[in-house]
Chain A
């Protein structure tokens, strides 16, 4: 991975970002954070609707139809800006424990989001009438929200990978 990161650091897109890093890195990161805001707003509203704490004048399907596309769209934006950050600072990102743990949770979070939207579309009545009232589904809503919270924490910890001690590939080599 270190070899790949070093190779990537010498490719022309990476060199371009490095040469313009004074504005490029903060600009990419800011768009990334704006994307995180859209994801968190959407996930919060869908999860609170499942819990029955807000948007209760709307059905679960209405709420998901409102926020689902924004959630999916923002995830693509995060993927694009995230890729630019990896290209711009390959060693800083790829040679960390935080980054790979984060990617694992992103895969899990995205899988849950896509699966949820699909099954909801296919079994709308079943969700509205029974599933949404079941405690395990409510627990899942809280769980998904916590996944995205952990993803944010891990994203920040990429800059502090030494907190993981010997688990961090950047420490002790």
Chain B
């Protein structure tokens, strides 16, 4: 019950109301979220591909990681902030959405995966810093990391198809006009699209 009250409070904050009522804010938050996450995943892939010996294999790992991961953190901050702002616009719905929950679990797994690396291969990095092919455990962590981040993208995209923005109780002008354009009968007669929201 306390969680339900907290979620309810969140989506009634002035900030949440303002984002919901704005025509531009939610799409812009989504855009900034995609910009942030593409930089997070893109920079992490650079480090993972080095660990796998696929790209930058002859560049010292520590230098590459230091040069790359600081930008990952900047991008992660942008992604987390925009994600939180989108969450509060419809907190109760997102909280109970299975894809949202799966995505949170995957993000925790990504963190644990880094922890495993730091406690194992990361401790012996001085020995393999220049090796084109790092130890098997480091390569396993890198593979798992790539898989987890692709899964984060998939679950994130699925949230958009399964959770509705609270403010969009009426069809948007675009929805209405597409039906007119296609000469389709009004929604309800045709096969319902799988997407409820503005995916």
Which A residues are within 8 Å of any B CB, using their own CB? 2, 6, 9, 21-22, 25-27, 29-30, 33-34, 36-42, 44-45, 48, 54-55, 57-58, 66, 70, 91-92, 95, 149, 152-153, 155-157, 159-163, 168, 170-171, 173
- Secondary structure at the B interface, as helix, strand, loop or mixed, is helix
A160 and B198 contact, CB distance less than 8 A: yes
Which B residues are within 8 Å of any A CB, using their own CB? 23-24, 27-28, 30-31, 34-35, 37-43, 45-46, 55-56, 59, 63, 67-68, 71, 149-150, 153-154, 157-158, 161, 172-174, 177-178, 180-182, 193-195, 198-199
A37 and B27 contact, CB distance less than 8 A: no
B38 and A40 contact, CB distance less than 8 A: yes
A173 and B177 contact, CB distance less than 8 A: yes
Nearest-CB residue, chain B, relative to A29: B157
Known: A152-B38, A163-B24. A66 touches B56 (CB 8 A): yes
Most buried by A among B24, B41, B180: B41
**Closest Cβ–Cβ distance, residue A106 to chain B (whole Å):** 15
Chain B residues with CB under 8 A of A2? 181
A34 and B34 contact, CB distance less than 8 A: no
Known: A29-B157, A157-B31. A37 touches B181 (CB 8 A): no
A45 to B153, CA, bound (A): 22
Most buried by A among B172, B174, B178, B182: B174
Chain A residues with CB under 8 A of B181? 2, 6, 91, 95, 170, 173
A38 to B68, CA, bound (A): 14
A21 and B194 contact, CB distance less than 8 A: yes
Of the candidates B37, B71, B173, which one forms a contact with A37 in the assembled complex, judged by CB atoms under 8 Å apart?
B37
Known: A48-B71, A66-B55, A160-B198. A170 touches B45 (CB 8 A): no
A54 and B71 contact, CB distance less than 8 A: yes
Known: A37-B42, A41-B45. A170 touches B174 (CB 8 A): yes
A57 to B194, CA, bound (A): 50
**Closest Cβ–Cβ distance, residue B126 to chain A (whole Å):** 18
Question: 11 A-B contacts, Cβ less than 8 Å apart?
Answer: A6-B181, A41-B43, A41-B46, A58-B59, A70-B55, A160-B27, A160-B198, A162-B172, A170-B174, A171-B173, A173-B180
A168 to B181, CA, bound (A): 14
A152 to B36, CA, bound (A): 10
A57 to B68, CA, bound (A): 13
